């Protein structure tokens, strides 16, 4: 595939090297027109009839199928909606109900906190003696016992990019009689995922990172076909009902993945996602992965050469990490501010992680070389050592 061509499909601001697509992807140029069309031609002209005429009602499933192709999910097994936190909750609640005799949710300390928070409060509200067991990422495999109801793991660690062995762990989970929920927030669009091959029971992810749907784009959920007609979603909104427009007083779950829908879907956000997925339709995720490895390898080599005080926090073996590289520095926050002021946008995660995302659809070797040159300048000349760079603002 032609990465120069995909790069031309994104709006990248003048003078910016954007290494934060792992947090919020940039604007696909076509998204601006697509959203405008949805606003003026659909909402503006069709009004309420847009739900049918513009197929807004079918969008969550249609987009689900498009994302499914990137994560190895068959048609009709993925649906869009809500936020990742809500989708984690639905999957976890369903999983616990499928394993009533077991009381432990197993997760790891590298999981994104919202997953842990949702689990914590689910357990509290169920009040049935469940336990959220959080172990170190490297101890997950050894902690899969027959006490476990469900594992809740994020494939790619948001801090370091460390990659869990999804297929290997899922197989161990199943051997122990448990279920596997995978959070693909930092995987979908970053590397090939095969939920079917790995045998994942549930998977969730967000669309505003590597998939480039824009700020606040909806989440997605995958439920394995064997479970989809069995699970009873804890969050049972009207659009997950078998016949939403019958307005029955009693809930009957919809067919398959449709039951995981909750409320009215965010049509404007989905319009942006549609345009973003048009770019993905031109991409081969295996080629994206190969290119990502080239870029991260180059970045690591150049940074280690020119910034010896930075410590690599990501796995050195590219096969064991996602599409981001994290370097540690005690003044990482200030360094990142200095970098951003110079047009190299990465981000910072407490306590000392500087994250850099590599997204071949729009980041190339020149960006990597230029970015490292500026980073080296910041480090060698201590350009980060300014009070205003040390003052922490609220960043995502």
Strand partners, 162: 321
Q: Which of 127, 226, 281, 317 touches a second copy (CB under 8 A)?
A: 127
29 carries an active-site annotation: no
CB 312 to a second copy: min, Å: 20
Q: What is the distance between the alpha carbons of residues 65 and 190, in angstroms, rounded to a whole number?
A: 18
CB 168 to a second copy: min, Å: 25
Q: Which of 201, 258, 331, 347 touches a second copy (CB under 8 A)?
A: 347
Three-state secondary structure call for residue 327: strand
Name the active-site residue from 10, 158, 208, 389.
208
Crossing angle of helices 113-126 and 84-98, in 10° steps, is: 50
Name the active-site residue from 10, 18, 89, 112.
112
- Using CB under 8 A as the binding rule, whether residue 85 contacts a second copy is answered as yes
Q: Which of 233, 322, 332, 360 touches a second copy (CB under 8 A)?
A: 233
- Using CB under 8 A as the binding rule, whether residue 109 contacts a second copy is answered as yes
Largest CA distance in the chain: 68
Q: Which of 5, 39, 229, 385 touches a second copy (CB under 8 A)?
A: 39
From 194-202, 209-217, 365-373, 375-383, give the range in contact with a second copy by CB under 8 A. 209-217
252 carries an active-site annotation: no
User: Cis peptide leading into 351, omega within 30 of 0?
Assistant: yes
Q: Return the residues of window 260-319 that contact a second copy according to CB under 8 A.
A: 262-270, 272
355 carries an active-site annotation: yes
- Using CB under 8 A as the binding rule, whether residue 241 contacts a second copy is answered as yes
- Using CB under 8 A as the binding rule, whether residue 82 contacts a second copy is answered as yes
Residues contacting a second copy: total by CB under 8 A: 93
CB 13 to a second copy: min, Å: 5
**Residue 212, both tokens:** 């480039």
- Using CB under 8 A as the binding rule, whether residue 18 contacts a second copy is answered as yes
Q: Which of 2, 5, 8, 13 touches a second copy (CB under 8 A)?
A: 13
**Residue 359, both tokens:** 């997204």
Name the active-site residue from 34, 102, 162, 355.
355
- Using CB under 8 A as the binding rule, whether residue 197 contacts a second copy is answered as no
From 123-131, 286-294, 300-308, 362-370, give the range in contact with a second copy by CB under 8 A. 123-131
Reported as type and span, the H/E element at residue 220 is strand 219-223
Residue with smaller CB distance to a second copy, 170 or 324: 324
> Catalytic site residues?
112, 183, 208-209, 355
């Amino acid at each position: 595939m032609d990465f120069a061509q995909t790069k031309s499909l994104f709006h990248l601001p003048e003078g910016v090297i954007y290494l934060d697509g792992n947090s919020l992807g940039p604007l696909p140029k076509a998204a601006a027109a697509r959203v405008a069309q949805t606003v003026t031609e659909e909402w503006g002209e069709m009004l309420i009839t847009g739900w049918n005429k513009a197929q807004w009602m079918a969008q969550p499933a249609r987009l689900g199928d498009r994302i499914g192709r990137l994560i190895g999910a068959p048609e009709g097994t993925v649906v869009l909606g809500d936020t990742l936190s809500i989708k984690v909750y639905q999957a976890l609640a369903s999983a616990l109900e499928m394993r009533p005799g077991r009381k432990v949710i197993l997760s790891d300390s590298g999981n994104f906190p919202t997953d842990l928070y949702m689990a914590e409060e689910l357990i509290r509200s169920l009040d049935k003696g469940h336990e959220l067991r959080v172990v170190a990422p490297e101890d997950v495999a050894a902690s899969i016992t027959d006490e476990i109801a469900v594992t809740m793991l994020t494939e790619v660690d948001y801090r370091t990019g460390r990659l869990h062995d999804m297929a290997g762990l899922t197989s161990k989970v199943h051997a122990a009689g448990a279920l596997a929920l995978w959070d693909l927030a930092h995987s979908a669009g970053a590397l090939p995922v095969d939920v079917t091959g790995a045998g994942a029971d549930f998977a969730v992810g967000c669309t505003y990172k590597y998939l480039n749907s824009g700020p606040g784009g909806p989440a997605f959920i995958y439920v394995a076909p064997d479970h989809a007609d069995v699970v009873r979603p804890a969050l049972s909104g009207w659009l997950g009902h078998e016949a939403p427009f019958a307005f029955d007083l009693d809930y009957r779950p919809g067919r398959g993945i449709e039951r995981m829908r909750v409320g009215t879907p965010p049509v404007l956000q989905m319009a942006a996602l549609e345009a973003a997925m048009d770019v993905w339709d031109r991409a081969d995720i295996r080629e994206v992965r190969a290119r990502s490895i080239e870029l991260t390898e180059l970045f690591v080599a150049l940074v280690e050469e020119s910034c010896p005080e930075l410590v690599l926090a990501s796995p050195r073996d590219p096969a064991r990490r996602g599409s981001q590289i994290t370097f540690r520095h005690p003044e990482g926050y200030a360094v990142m501010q200095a970098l951003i002021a110079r047009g190299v946008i990465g981000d910072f995660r407490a306590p000392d992680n500087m994250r850099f995302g590599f997204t071949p659809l729009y980041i190339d070797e020149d960006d990597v070389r230029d970015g490292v040159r500026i980073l080296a300048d910041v480090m060698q000349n201590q350009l980060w050592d300014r009070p205003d760079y040390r003052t922490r603002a609220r960043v995502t």
